[in-house]
């Protein structure tokens, strides 16, 4: 576990056995931590999943019968142990890595953006309305810049 901001964030990462490139846990935790704004001890579970699994989840929860790059499931509840569960992130390496090639974006840049984007969703950010989208994208750009990555919305 890397040292997290204010020691408030615990991140559990589970991975399917996949052949695709997956950043190491330290990078994933760093990206998640930089986007963490909640002021209480919190747990986030990040699942690195196969394309078939994320497609099943996307169909079941969002009625979209196709795979996607990442899904965020905000929880924001306290479990019996007293732990505050911020939520779950399911991310698909095959799609993230293909998007990186398709959009000519550095793999690290794409992965960082998807983790940050998901963490913001867990904390209530949305892009359902134009005004919400602008707020969320500006926050993403700021955090990506803080990490030394390029603007994720700049067309290469």
Q: pLDDT band at residue 7, thresholds of 50, 70 and 90?
A: low
Q: pLDDT band at residue 6, thresholds of 50, 70 and 90?
A: very low
Q: What is the pLDDT of residue 4?
A: 37
Distance between CA atoms of 28 and 115, rounded to whole angstroms? 7
- Average pLDDT on 143-156 reads 86
Mapped onto helix, strand or coil, the DSSP state of residue 125 is coil
Whether the CB-CB separation of 70 and 118 falls below 8 Å is answered with yes
Whether the CB-CB separation of 85 and 76 falls below 8 Å is answered with yes
The model's pTM is 0.90
Whether residue 134 is predicted with pLDDT greater than 50 in this model: the reply is yes
CA gyration radius for the chain? 15
Say what the alpha-carbon torsion angle 106, 10, 37, 58 is, to the nearest 10 degrees.
Answer: 60
For 106-127, the pLDDT digits (tens) are 999 999 999 999 999 999 999 9
- Average pLDDT on 127-151 reads 94
Least-confidence region, from 28-37, 71-80, 116-125, 131-140: 71-80
For 71-81, the pLDDT digits (tens) are 999 998 888 77
Distance between CA atoms of 86 and 78, rounded to whole angstroms? 9
CATH superfamily of 5-146: Metalloproteases ("zincins"), catalytic domain (3.40.390.30)
Domain ranges of the chain: 5-146
CA-based diameter of the chain, in Å?
47
Contacts with 129 (C-beta within 8 Å, 6 or more apart), sequence order: none
Q: What is the pLDDT of residue 44?
A: 96
Q: pLDDT band at residue 155, thresholds of 50, 70 and 90?
A: low
What angle (nearest 5°) sits at the alpha carbon of residue 112, between those of residues 111 and 114?
65
Helices (H), the chain: 25-34, 51-62, 93-102, 107-122, 130-146
């Amino acid at each position: 576990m890397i040292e997290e901001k204010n020691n408030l964030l615990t991140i559990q990462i589970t991975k399917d056995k996949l052949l695709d490139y997956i950043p190491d846990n330290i990078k994933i935790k760093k990206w998640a931590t930089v986007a963490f704004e909640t002021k209480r001890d919190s747990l986030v579970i990040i699942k690195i999943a196969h394309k078939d699994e994320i497609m099943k989840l996307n169909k079941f929860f969002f009625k979209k019968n196709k795979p996607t790059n990442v899904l965020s499931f905000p929880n924001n509840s306290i479990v019996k142990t007293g732990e505050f569960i911020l939520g779950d992130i399911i991310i698909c390496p095959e799609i993230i890595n293909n998007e990186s090639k398709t959009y000519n974006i550095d793999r690290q840049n794409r992965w960082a953006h998807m983790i940050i984007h998901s963490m913001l969703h867990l904390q209530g950010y949305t892009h359902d309305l134009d005004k919400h989208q602008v707020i969320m994208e500006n926050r993403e750009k700021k955090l990506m810049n803080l990490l030394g990555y390029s603007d994720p919305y700049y067309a290469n």
